[in-house]
Amino acid sequence: MLLESEQDVEIVGEAASAKGAIEAVGELAPTVVLMDIGLPDISGIDAARQIKEINPQIAIVALTIHEDEEYFFKMLEAGASGYVPKRAAPEELLTAIRAAAKGEVYLYPSLAKLLVKDFLAHDSGSRNEQALDGLTTREQEVLAHLADGASNDEIAETLSISPKTVARHRENIMEKLNLHSRTELVKYAIRKGIIKP
């Protein structure tokens, strides 16, 4: 198997069903869960939600045959940090797993375009309209780097602060802007023009 040959990837468990995966997560507490959406008992989407409820720190990468918007957006809403179609090159899957392990988001390029298209198609509405003004200058800097895909360690090095300080700023940003995932943060940053789609 591809993953077993990678020195920086350790497989700590496997499951043939969603229920098995949920139970294993409670026992093994992995950093990343590689989840097939099409599971035999309950959907990978529901399983992802339950896993995030058990441990919000676990990153989930979806591996799927589905490339349509419905599954893509539902999986992101469930808290997935990555979404990779099964037709993707093995290197893409490894990239997604490594990104998720660092707290980053990885979206397969064709699917990332769907996300940007959807975000731009909806107006920002009144939600969070004035919220950016409620962020400190440092929080706005951290927000820009987070939305651009930088890891906590990379932001810490760029801004000459500790990774723990970055994590604290990130929590404050999420709370002030009423955001619950990195995907929502990227969406917000695109709408506000903080980063370019």
CATH number at residue 26: 3.40.50.2300
Question: What is the reported pLDDT for 195?
Answer: 67
Indicate whether 135 and 104 sit together in one domain: no
Indicate whether 66 and 98 sit together in one domain: yes
Residue 55 is assigned to a structural domain of this protein: yes
Indicate whether 12 and 92 sit together in one domain: yes
Indicate whether 113 and 159 sit together in one domain: no
Residue 101 is assigned to a structural domain of this protein: yes
Residue 152 is assigned to a structural domain of this protein: yes
Residue 196 is assigned to a structural domain of this protein: no
Q: For residues 59 and 81, is the Cβ–Cβ distance under 8 A?
A: yes
Q: For residues 61 and 81, is the Cβ–Cβ distance under 8 A?
A: yes
**119, 145, 178: which is the final residue of a domain?**
119
Indicate whether 93 and 17 sit together in one domain: yes
Q: Tokens 């599971």 appear where? A: 39
Q: Tell me the C-alpha to C-alpha distance, in Å, between residue 182 and each of 26, 54, 136, 195.
A: 23, 18, 19, 14
Indicate whether 114 and 144 sit together in one domain: no
Indicate whether 107 and 11 sit together in one domain: yes
The stretches in the chain having pLDDT less than 50 are: 123-130
Say whether 22 sits in a helix, a strand or coil. Answer: helix
Length of the chain: 197
User: Residue 65: which domain range?
Assistant: 3-119
Total domains present in the chain: 2
Query: Which residue pairs, CB below 8 angstroms and at least 24 apart, start in 14-21?
Result: 16/40, 17/41, 18/42, 18/43, 18/44, 18/46, 18/47, 21/47, 21/51
Indicate whether 18 and 79 sit together in one domain: yes
Residue 197 is assigned to a structural domain of this protein: no
Q: In terms of DSSP bridges, do strands 82-85 and 106-107 run parallel, antiparallel, or are they unpaired?
A: parallel
**119, 140, 170: which is the final residue of a domain?**
119
Residue 15 is assigned to a structural domain of this protein: yes
Indicate whether 66 and 13 sit together in one domain: yes
Indicate whether 105 and 175 sit together in one domain: no
Question: What is the reported pLDDT for 39?
Answer: 79
Indicate whether 52 and 111 sit together in one domain: yes
Question: What is the reported pLDDT for 123?
Answer: 47
Indicate whether 132 and 86 sit together in one domain: no
